[in-house]
Structure 1
Amino acid sequence: MTPMKEDYLKIIFELGGTHKKVSNKQIALSLNVAAGSVTEMISKMTEEGLAVHVPYSGISLTKKGVRAAEELVRKHRLWEVFLVEKLGYSLADIHDEAEQLEHVTSDRMINALDEMLGNPTHCPHGGIIPDRSGHYHEDSHQVLNDAKDGDIVTVDRFIDNHDLLTYLGELKLDIGDQVKVLKHDPFEGPVTVQNLTDDTELIVSYKAAHYVFVK
């Protein structure tokens, strides 16, 4: 399986594609790729039995796709925990390293790493980590951009992207922060929120607001 196809599996999993339809636009935004590229890859994944595509509705993973995604996510996120907790990596710098490590990690090694780390249930940017039996509690799949003006929500997790995590670090928006949505600017403009945890007003770009999950 190519690294790009693995990225699609992981992002569809992260966006909730284990139990609901995920739109081409969500995938394109999250992976920063053109809509045409998404269509082409989803076609290949459908042919291989990894995904189901319903026109005008979206994409979801098959049982085969879910199993593959869970294995990839588990390896990737356990390495992220290791890099942050044991090697002192910053949150923004762990993705590329974990991406390399996940491809050379046997089941025996990842189970040993899991034990050594104390069987963590979430990675440093808030994503769930399936256990060795494939069990996990489902993530929140509501993105900040979909919260209504006036809603008070808690930041639950971030998409694993270097530029995003650097940007959010500069904004000082952290997992666990409680925020009140003040307004959505029109024409794909930013989302303005009041960070109730730090008592600051933040302007979050339209794209970033699709990468921040809240509950």
Structure 2
Amino acid sequence: MPQEHIEEYLEAIYDIAGKEGTAKTTEIAERLKNAPASVTEVFQRLQKKGFVRYESHKGVSLTTKGYKNALKMKRKHRLLEVFLDKMLHLPKENIHEQACKMEHTLTDETETALCKTLKGPTQCPHGSPIPPCNFDVKNCQECITEQTKSLEKRQKEILALTSLKHGETAQIAFVRGGGGVMQRLCDLGLTNGTEISLLRAAPLHGPVEICVRGCKLVIGRGIAEKIFVQKT
């Protein structure tokens, strides 16, 4: 069962039943425009996965696992609505549908960055509260502060390959350059996350000798200065 379908059902159940209530099969069928028989089959699958509790002729309710997943999707949806409204200035009558299409592809990392960019909004443009994130913090503002500190610390740890001392080892964090540079380095096996050691740097801005996956490589100083690493 596609993850997107699971998320759609969990959201629908949450909207109708909340945390502890029960939603009827006909209610979910009407909301998602599916046949009741198909909805029942999905309920049974979701129950096997631990997302819901389902009883024939009574309805469906969310388990703790299902509730957390539904809440997470609501958070993504409402953050996207704020983004579409405040940043892109789309008409309010259109943002719900757009957010529905985007929420299933929004990664957790992007969600965190989006919340930070929007300065931790507490409600969507329609006035509904935005659920808190999963971090162990009191509120979104505290989360943003912690994320900022973490990012600043990481940025301080990143330096150019040519700044390493002889014999030091680090991982490639990112590369600055156009498509040609990126392709050339990729062909050499120099991609993000690759462990790299500086063996020797020739004087007077000469070439740089490095070790990658046990192999020695010599690259020009200009290329080496475009490679940024993080010490391991």
TM-score between the two structures when normalised by the length of structure 1: 0.56
Match of 2:54 in 1: 53
Aligned partner of residue 49 in structure 1, secondary structure: coil
Contact map agreement 1:83 1:89 (CA 8 A) in 2: yes
Deviation by residue 1:57-88 (Cα, 9 ceiling, x = unmatched): 22111111111111111112101111012111
Letter in 2 for 1:87: L
Q: Whole-Å Cα distance in 2 between the matches of residues 126 and 27 of structure 1? A: 24
Match of 1:122 in 2: 123
Deviation by residue 1:99-153 (Cα, 9 ceiling, x = unmatched): 34323333232122223223223223343321114899xxxxxxxxxxxxxxxxx
Q: Whole-Å Cα distance in 2 between the matches of residues 91 and 84 of structure 1? A: 7
Letter in 2 for 1:44: R
The answer to whether the aligner puts 1:81 opposite 2:82 as a matched pair is: yes
Change (3 A) 1:127 1:32: farther
Q: Whole-Å Cα distance in 1 between the matches of residues 126 and 100 of structure 2? A: 15
Deviates more, 1:123-132 or 1:10-19: 123-132
Match of 2:22 in 1: 21
Shift of 1:52: 0.3
Q: Whole-Å Cα distance in 2 between the matches of residues 127 and 88 of structure 1? A: 19
Deviation by residue 1:4-34 (Cα, 9 ceiling, x = unmatched): 2211111111113421111112212222222
Deviates more, 1:25-34 or 1:76-85: 25-34
Aligned partner of residue 60 in structure 2, secondary structure: strand
Unaligned stretches of 5+ residues in structure 1: 137-215
Match of 1:177 in 2: none
Match of 2:187 in 1: none
| Superposition pairs of residues 126-205 of structure 1, within 5 angstroms | 126-133=127-134
Contact map agreement 1:17 1:59 (CA 8 A) in 2: no
**Per chain length, whose mean CA-contact separation is higher, i.e. which structure has more relative contact order (CA < 8 Å, sep 6+)?**
1
Q: Whole-Å Cα distance in 2 between the matches of residues 11 and 127 of structure 1? A: 16
Match of 1:103 in 2: 104
Q: Whole-Å Cα distance in 2 between the matches of residues 39 and 24 of structure 1? A: 7
Letter in 2 for 1:63: T
Change (3 A) 1:23 1:50: same
Structure number with bigger Rg:
2
Identity %: 35
Q: Whole-Å Cα distance in 2 between the matches of residues 67 and 14 of structure 1? A: 13
Match of 2:73 in 1: 72
The answer to whether the aligner puts 1:63 opposite 2:64 as a matched pair is: yes
Aligned partner of residue 123 in structure 1, secondary structure: coil
Shift of 1:96: 4.0
Letter in 1 for 2:99: A
Q: Whole-Å Cα distance in 2 between the matches of residues 14 and 126 of structure 1? A: 15
Q: How many residues align?
A: 136
Aligned partner of residue 103 in structure 1, secondary structure: helix
Change (3 A) 1:50 1:30: same
Q: Whole-Å Cα distance in 2 between the matches of residues 53 and 97 of structure 1? A: 31
TM-score between the two structures when normalised by the length of structure 2: 0.52
